[in-house]
Structure 1
């Protein structure tokens, strides 16, 4: 009899919890908007990456996911305030989960917004601003020097796009420089090939004797293509090499620092972080 009573009590408790959840439209609304924003964000990116729609279309959707998350947060905050004012007990399970997802997603978006605000809108990064490594097998994008910021900046008056690019590049990434490796050119290029393949890059061209390698990296859910060229020049009668690298996004204006991070990490692995003196 006691067991039957306990079982009935458990069923009643569970039923009460489910009924409580059903009576929480505010919590459901916040949760649905939050989850929908996250799914839409990554779905838009993945759809662009797999060719279901253009990458520009995918990118154009992303700001609306942030707006949706903000709306969800506002609904949650207003709902909590109204509950307090009317002396109602806030139902937390759904509202709390939705709010946590919303805050996490907004923090994720804020990190990208911070990067956009603090780094220049450039997409071509190199260790040698005066004489960047040149592509031969992979074509440099035709609009590479278009849309370089600073045309209306008084500090850059009289500069052409390439000069503005070099100025912005130097200010944002002063640490990205040539590196010296105490190995012959051909050995360094072979090592670079192995590192590129380990990273999943598609090697387009390699000439160890000439100290030249080109490859393509595919990144993010959008599956953006970034082209890389590595140049090795002999030093100390051929016993050492001076390595330069260049990484260029095929599309877009702002690379969110991705090319700089790629150059840093690759050269660090390749060389042991020995900076070449100029």
Structure 2
């Protein structure tokens, strides 16, 4: 009587599937927990590191399992493949973040005014250091103030409209005055993980019209992956189109 041939099951494949299936819930809960409050600023990066670490381990185990099954035979290719599928979304985002870090300077606070950056009043945030300002001047020479040949009241209304349209949470709102600069401070929230960045927009009357400066600062980490510079450029692009298109503020009384 011949004995049965026992085909082994790859333990690496089994654990690849299990760990990969765990990485996505960890990252999802991290995003929801940070966006809605239970996870504080100081804890979000370690939690995200755990989720991404699980995805990396899952992919490594899957690779080992595929090689082992190919040369020695055995079950588990399906489990290893599921580990790859579960880990790919996290690793794709991690790859994009790595690419962003490689092409953008290590900065997290960008201002259009390098001499007198707009100050925050609603949040206790220090001004950029001299080294950060020098690095920004080299990396983003095209980030600067915009001047419009109209009064600050119209510019202020246009800025406020754009801030509201972008869904930013306004934390301070100082309308135009005869002598002092007006400003709008807000919090911008990222789409995927809910990272919160502080934004301040300063509007000043000049001899020829109105000057607008903007500052955007990330709360998490020391590298914004170029997010703040892109935010400022995009905002000014929309503001230019709005004002050049003959924007007229709606000053009609609100309907009850």
Task: Report TM bin, short chain.
Answer: 0.7 to 0.9
Residue 185 (structure 1) aligned to one of 152, 171, 176? 152
Aligned length: 230
Counterpart of 1:64 in structure 2 is: 50
1:195 aligns with 2:162: yes
Q: Per-residue CA shift, 1:6-47, capped at 9, x if unaligned? A: xxxxxxxxxxxxxxxxx7865553232122112212322332
Counterpart of 2:71 in structure 1 is: 85
Runs (5+) with no aligned partner, structure 2: 1-8, 244-256
1:208 aligns with 2:176: yes
Secondary structure at the residue paired with 1:215? strand
1:54 aligns with 2:40: yes
Residue 38 (structure 1) aligned to one of 24, 29, 39? 24
TM-score (norm 1): 0.71
How far residue 250 of structure 1 moved from its aligned partner, in angstroms, is: 4.5
TM-score (norm 2): 0.76
Counterpart of 2:125 in structure 1 is: 141
How far residue 79 of structure 1 moved from its aligned partner, in angstroms, is: 1.3
Counterpart of 1:248 in structure 2 is: 217
How far residue 123 of structure 1 moved from its aligned partner, in angstroms, is: 2.4
Runs (5+) with no aligned partner, structure 1: 1-22, 146-161
Q: Per-residue CA shift, 1:42-71, capped at 9, x if unaligned? A: 322332333323222221122232222222
Counterpart of 1:217 in structure 2 is: 187
Residue 114 (structure 2) aligned to one of 108, 126, 129? 129
Larger radius of gyration: 1
Equivalent runs, 1:144-163 vs 2, <5 Å: 144-145=127-128, 162-163=129-130
**2:152 and 2:204 in contact (8 A); partners too:** yes
Quick one: distance in 2 between partners of 1:88 and 1:256?
A: 44
RMSD of the TM alignment (CA)? 2.8
**1:33 and 1:68 in contact (8 A); partners too:** yes
More helix by share: 1
Structure 1 residues 57 and 89, CA gap change in structure 2 (3 angstroms):
closer
Quick one: distance in 1 between partners of 2:26 and 2:104?
A: 26
Counterpart of 1:109 in structure 2 is: 94
